[in-house]
Amino acid sequence: MAADPPGAERPSRALLLSAFVIATCGLIYELVAGAMASYLLGDSVTQFSLVIGTYLSAMGLGSYMSRYLDRGLLARFVEVELAVALIGGLEAPVLFGLFVWSPAFRWLLYLQIGLIGALVGLELPLLIRILERETSLKELVARVLFLDYIGALAASLVFPLVMLPRLGLFRTSIAFGLINAGVALWTTYLFQAAPSVLRRLRWMSAGVIIILLSVFVAAGPIEARLDANLFADPVVYRAASPYQKIVLTHRDGDTRLFINGALQFSTLDEHRYHESLVHPAMTAVEAPARVLVLGGGDGMAVREVLRYDSVQHVTLVDLDPMITSIFTDRPELSALNRASLSDPRVRVINADAFTYLEGRAAPAPGAQSPSDDVYDVVLVDFPDPNNHGLGKLYTTTFFSMLDRAVAEGGVVAVQATSPMWSPSAFWCIHRTMRHAGWQTRPYHAYVPAFGEWGFVLAGRSSPVRFGPLPEGLRFLDATTRDLLFHFPPDLAERPGPINRLDNQALVQLYEEDWRAMLKR
């Protein structure tokens, strides 16, 4: 074994103290990784245990690798320390960036955790070997490991109770990176070595500290800008299907579903939305038996539909198998729709509603006669038309095709965006349905999570007479239902174009509406 530089024999308490700091920082990085993983990927138990497993095994690997480091142990120790400071300190912002920009986030997450773990794993063996020369092994192991475990305790208390609430995830991880880098710099003053070596190590430390400090300053505004919606409440489930990003949050009895960052419902008031979407249409026909739901893969609308004993079958067409399957299979979610999607009367089809209606236009040879396949009530519950793929579901072509799916005397109800926030879009949908030959009755309801929300009820003749509402509704009664159809002057109809596949006027109107709204 080669000799260490002169002066390495001044290990002192100072180096022991750094064992404490190292241990604290090491655990903090692990906690940050676990928190990020469960934040971003959902399913915290799995994520935490995978992160801890990866981290610990990487530490083991790092400890083993320490046997290959022979020369200039103190300098190596400083270098490892600086690497930990940099990679660990920037862990949270980098992971977030990777999540946003890389589809391979999951693997990169483990790669980064592994890297940090391995570096942290190198630290203690190096330290023990440096100190070994002046203290007996017995003493040394006892002290170092004691400080290591105490440091871990400190971290586990400081992280959730002090750092996270004060600094947020980004700045917490950077702050500990700074502490790490500080220890490294300090260490260079504890031993003597060739001045060139010391100079190099100090410059490196200064560089790392400057980098971390500048990211620390920038991190505040960045973190503040992150989608406030998404991170307002703890994320309990997150998934990305080929079609959309799905996020569920939960806090104090309020579960919220977000698709591509847009709120779909909040359990505090979704009953207002779904009762308003479903019951005017369901009570506008006598004894509705066949119901088609387009969109609405969360099963909430179907839940309302199944309140009617007359219903014999319900077909639900939703693009995304991920949505319909989590709302069928995950107990906490199917509790919200009262297991409506598992009801024997309900058939779930995962298809693009446009393609589905087009396919119906030309029934396959040998298929049941088309009249078997029409519906008394069709409920259309698509996301708002903020892109052309969704805009096509509100076009003259779409609403004309819809006609073939509706039985004699049947009705349609369409979610039509907000007559308050996006009035041009709302009235464009209404106008487009009229142009496609429907007799329409626009209506609206107040849903606190969304504001004033709009729908269009339509039939081949205007649906004006309503039957009795089912039992157990929380929002609608006969009087409220009548009031929905009244539009006060500030929600009055406005003129504009018709939405067609060849102009997609609605997408533009919707965008303009929201831009105008945000300016207010």
Partner 1 sequence: MRLSRRRLLKGALCGAFVGAAGCSPGPRPRVGALLGAGRASLAHRLWAPFQAQAGVRVERARVVIVGGGVAGLSAAWRLRRAGFEGEVLLLELDARLGGTSQSGEGGSGPVALGAHYATIPNKENIHVQAIFADLGLIVGADSAGRPAYDPAAICLAPQERLFIGGEWILGLWPATGATAEDEAQREAWEAELSVWRSTIGADGRPAFALPIALSSEDPALRALAEPTFAAWLDARGYTSPRLRWMIEYGCRDDFGATLRSTSAWAGLHYHCARRPFVADPLDMGTQVLTWPGGNGALVDGLAKRCGATLRVGALVRRVEADTGRVWVEAGGELIEVQAERVILAVPSAVSARLLDRPAPLALTTAPWRVAVLQLDGWTPGPGVPAAWDSVPWDPELSAEETDLGAIDNGWQARRYGGPTTLSHYQPLCADDPSAARQALLHAGWEEQAEAVLHRMRKGWPDLPEHLARIDIWAWGHGTVRPSPGLHTDPRRLAALGAIEGRVHHAHTELSGMSLFEEASWHGVRAAEEALQALGAPVGPSLLGADLGAAWRRG
191 or 398: whose CB is closer to partner 1? 398
83 or 447: whose CB is closer to partner 1? 83
**Cβ distance 230 to 259 under 8 Å?**
no
Shortest spacing between CB 107 and partner 1, in angstroms: 4
Give whole-number Cα distances, 519 to 421, 510, 516, in Å.
12, 14, 5
Residue 342 token pair: 């598992």
Which listed residue (5, 125, 168, 389) binds partner 1 by CB under 8 A?
A: 389
Shortest spacing between CB 508 and partner 1, in angstroms: 8
355 or 461: whose CB is closer to partner 1? 355
68 or 101: whose CB is closer to partner 1? 101
Which listed residue (392, 430, 441, 481) binds partner 1 by CB under 8 A?
A: 392
Shortest spacing between CB 498 and partner 1, in angstroms: 5
**Cβ distance 481 to 466 under 8 Å?**
yes
**Site for partner 1, residues 448 to 507, rule: CB under 8 A:** 497-498, 500-505
The residues with which 380 forms a beta bridge, in sequence order, are 294, 414
- 3-state secondary structure string, 99-121? HHHCCCHHHHHHHHHHHHHHHHH
- Residue 415 has phi, psi (to 5 degrees) of -70, 135
137 or 262: whose CB is closer to partner 1? 262
* Whole-number Å distance between alpha carbons of 128 and 136: 10
**Cβ distance 328 to 342 under 8 Å?**
yes
430 touches partner 1 by CB under 8 A: no
Closest CA relative to residue 348, chosen from 367, 329, 325: 325
Which listed residue (388, 437, 485, 512) binds partner 1 by CB under 8 A?
A: 388
Which listed residue (387, 439, 462, 480) binds partner 1 by CB under 8 A?
A: 387
CA torsion sign for 346, 347, 351, 355 is negative
73 or 507: whose CB is closer to partner 1? 507
Q: Which amino acid is residue 517, in one-letter code?
A: M
* Whole-number Å distance between alpha carbons of 220 and 213: 12
Active site residue 329: no
**Site for partner 1, residues 80 to 119, rule: CB under 8 A:** 97-98, 101-104, 106-108, 111
- Residue 361 has phi, psi (to 5 degrees) of -60, -35
Shortest spacing between CB 377 and partner 1, in angstroms: 26
- Written as one string, the DSSP assignment of 468-512 is PPPTT-SS--HHHHHHHT---GGG-----PPP-TTT-HHHHHHHH
Catalytic-role residue among 318, 320, 381, 384: 381
**Site for partner 1, residues 343 to 382, rule: CB under 8 A:** 354
- Binding residues for partner 1 (CB under 8 A): 97-98, 101-104, 106-108, 111, 354, 387-389, 392, 397, 435, 497-498, 500-505
Residue numbers annotated as active site? 381
